[in-house]
Amino acid sequence: MSRLSAEERASRSEAVRYARGTMGLVEGYRPSPLTRELQARWIDGEITIDQAIDEVRLSHGLTDLPGADSTPFGHSAHADPDTCSTIIRTGSRSAATQGLHC
């Protein structure tokens, strides 16, 4: 990946902080060492979000799941250009992953 601007890096860092906080409050989630490593690499621009998703899938042996551009039910999933959150279904966004799918 190309070198990120300070603004982009700050935006990614805030997105990760927000996702960790939201998931921690709602689900008691604590990121694994692999997740923390991948988030740091994404923040630094070393990998894309799709590469991070592939790494997690591989670590769990889930290589045969549908791609990041579709839901388990085959519906289209895409990043909203304004919020960078993944739209799972019309009118519904995952707050925990906001900012991590652009």
pLDDT of residue 101: 41
pTM: 0.61
Strand order in the sheet with 92-93: 78-79, 86-89, 92-93
Alpha-carbon span 45 to 22, nearest angstrom: 23
List the domain boundaries for the chain: 6-97
Q: Which residue has the tokens 């935006």?
A: 11
Structure confidence by residue, pLDDT tens digits, 44-91:
999 999 999 999 999 988 877 665 555 555 545 554 444 444 444 444
